[in-house]
Amino acid sequence: MKTCWKCGGELQVIKDKSYHYKESGLDNIYLYGIMQYKCKGCEERGPEIPNIEELHLVIGRSLVCKESVLNAKEIIYLRKELGLKSKDMAEILSVSPQEYSKWENDKDVISSVFDTKLRLIYVLNADHQFGAVLHNGIRFIQQIARNQKSVIKERKEKKKIEISLAEWMRPVQKQFFNEECMST
């Protein structure tokens, strides 16, 4: 029997219910197929999330492959996954820290040029972290740019991202970032 990490009480297992993964820093991430626990005493709740690095890679892929430009929380998520401070990301993107801050604080919308650059920085870093090339080159980059042009008006989109356990429990495949992810 598992016990509560807060009060030591008995934990109830919750199965077959989606988990709103707010800990990611994003409002729209829902995980399926994971174990969740609720304390019968203090009502504290918590998930059991295996392979969290792969999960975060799948979330990053969902953001990189979405059609509309990145919103403030998505920009922050990708930057944090890269392990960068905002001033460092601003420098890498060749913008002032003030301009970059406006994007992260939702005071201004990132342009499609810098949005594409940020996505590519993330993809290349994900490759480095996993020790393999996870994208299929220039066709993927072209698809990112095409998608942004076609949906530039949908900047404030908050589409729900649903992730099944199988998506991050299997080994990362070669060509993880590809044209197929653009249609998911």
Task: Tell me: pLDDT of 140 over 80.
Answer: no
When pLDDT is cut at 50, 70 and 90, the band that residue 63 belongs to is: very high
What is the pLDDT averaged over residues 13-19? 91
Q: Would you state the pLDDT for residue 179?
A: 60
CB neighbour list of residue 179: distance below 8 Å, 6 or more residues apart = 136, 139, 140, 143
What is the pLDDT averaged over residues 37-45? 92
With 0-12 / 13-18 / 19 or more C-beta atoms within 10 angstroms meaning exposed / middle / buried, residue 173 is exposed
What is the pLDDT averaged over residues 117-125? 87
When mean pLDDT is compared across 3-12, 46-55, 67-76, 161-170, the lowest value belongs to 161-170
Q: Would you state the pLDDT for residue 59?
A: 94
When pLDDT is cut at 50, 70 and 90, the band that residue 151 belongs to is: very low
Global pTM?
A: 0.74
Q: Would you state the pLDDT for residue 1?
A: 67
More confident residue, 148 or 46: 46
